[in-house]
């Protein structure tokens, strides 16, 4: 690990790569703050005094997920770049891998939360005896369309929807028309797909790292895992384009930045592999 380039052009390129890497990490932190505020805004519309702890963690699933991925990225940075091979043993390896297990549990919670939300969103439950949003101004509900939540009040009801039929969105005090409910379902499926794909990316990286830990730098498994990541990155970008087509450009940006973050880890792994390949020649 810790495969630092030496001398001339290689040294300059190495410095450029490291600068870009830390710029990407900084952008990821900025994105994380944005998602905390987004989760909080949604929670103000969906959570009530009777909400359970699991309800709270489900509403902040994105923030929890981002936290876990940040820590995982840092652990991978430690393992693939910062900690030297000779120091990667005993307590340091156990601590890093132990923290990774905790992060994986947090990510598993995100997948559970998205799955549960998708299941709860499936039933189509009409709001009875309502033909206009303005008849719900005293119901303490919010209207959602394309992830934008707005409290239903006398000032907002006329501008939110002209539909005559409305439906409960999951079990939350939130309503939408049929078009809005359908879109929310599609967006939840996209969230779930993204979470699963990122886990597969992590699994592929983990296999490659474990292989290189054992001094293996090739073979069918190694090559297939390396190539599969590019397919998964392409799928993540397609999801980002889908969100951008709905006006959520920040989500496309988020995918690009996170892929950049893992590209930095890929760069570390590549330098580490080059170092392993050179070892027999210098032995």
H or E element in which residue 228 lies: helix 220-245
Half-sphere exposure of 200 (CA within 13 A, CB side): 18
In the chain the first and final C-alpha atoms are separated, in Å, by: 17
List the one residue out of 37, 40, 59 whose CA is nearest residue 170. Answer: 59
- Cα dist from 205 to 83, 143, 263, whole Å: 17, 41, 11
pLDDT given at position 4? 41
pTM for the model: 0.77
List the one residue out of 61, 48, 56, 40 whose CA is nearest residue 141. Answer: 48
> What six digits make up the tokens of 93?
């390896």
- Tell me the residue ranges of DSSP E strands in 97-146: 125-126, 142-145
Per-residue pLDDT of the chain (283 residues), as tens digits, is 444 444 455 667 667 777 777 888 888 888 888 888 888 887 888 777 777 877 787 778 778 888 888 888 888 777 777 666 555 566 667 787 788 888 888 888 888 888 988 888 888 999 998 889 999 998 889 999 999 999 999 999 999 998 999 999 987 889 999 999 999 999 999 999 999 999 999 888 888 877 777 776 667 887 888 788 889 999 999 999 999 999 999 899 989 988 988 888 888 777 777 676 666 554 4
- Tell me the residue ranges of DSSP E strands in the chain: 125-126, 142-145, 148-151, 167-168, 174-176
Sign of the torsion formed by the C-alpha atoms of 100, 106, 109 and 114: negative
pLDDT given at position 3? 44
With contact defined as beta carbons under 8 Å apart, do 208 and 78 qualify? no
> What is the spatial distance between Cα 246 and Cα 244, in angstroms, rounded to a whole number?
5
> What is the spatial distance between Cα 262 and Cα 233, in angstroms, rounded to a whole number?
10
pLDDT given at position 85? 57
């Amino acid at each position: 690990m810790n495969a630092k380039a030496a001398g001339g052009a290689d040294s300059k390129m190495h410095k450029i790569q490291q600068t870009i890497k830390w710029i990407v990490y900084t952008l990821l932190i900025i994105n994380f703050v944005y998602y905390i505020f987004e989760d909080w805004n949604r929670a103000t519309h969906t959570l009530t005094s009777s909400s359970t702890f699991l309800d709270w963690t489900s509403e902040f699933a994105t923030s929890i997920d981002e936290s876990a991925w940040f820590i995982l990225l840092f652990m991978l940075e430690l393992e693939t770049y910062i900690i030297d091979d000779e120091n990667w043993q005993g307590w340091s390896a156990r601590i890093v891998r132990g923290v990774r297990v905790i992060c994986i549990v947090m990510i598993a919670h995100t997948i559970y939360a998205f799955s549960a939300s998708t299941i709860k969103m499936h039933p189509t439950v009409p709001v009875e005896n309502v033909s206009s949003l303005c008849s719900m101004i005293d119901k303490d509900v919010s209207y959602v369309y394309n992830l934008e939540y707005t409290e239903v009040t006398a000032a907002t009801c006329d501008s939110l929807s002209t539909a005559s039929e409305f439906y409960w969105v999951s079990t939350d005090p939130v309503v939408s028309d049929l078009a809005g409910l359908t879109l929310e379902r599609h967006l939840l499926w996209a969230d779930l797909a993204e979470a699963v794909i990122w886990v597969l990316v992590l699994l592929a990286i983990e296999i490659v790292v474990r292989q290189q830990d054992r001094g293996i730098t090739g073979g069918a498994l190694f090559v297939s895992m390396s190539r599969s990541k590019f397919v998964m990155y392409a799928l993540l970008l397609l999801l980002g384009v889908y969100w951008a087509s709905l006006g959520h450009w920040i989500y496309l940006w988020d995918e690009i930045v996170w892929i950049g973050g893992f590209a930095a880890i890929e760069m570390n792994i590549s330098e580490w592999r080059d170092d392993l390949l050179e070892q027999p020649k210098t032995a």
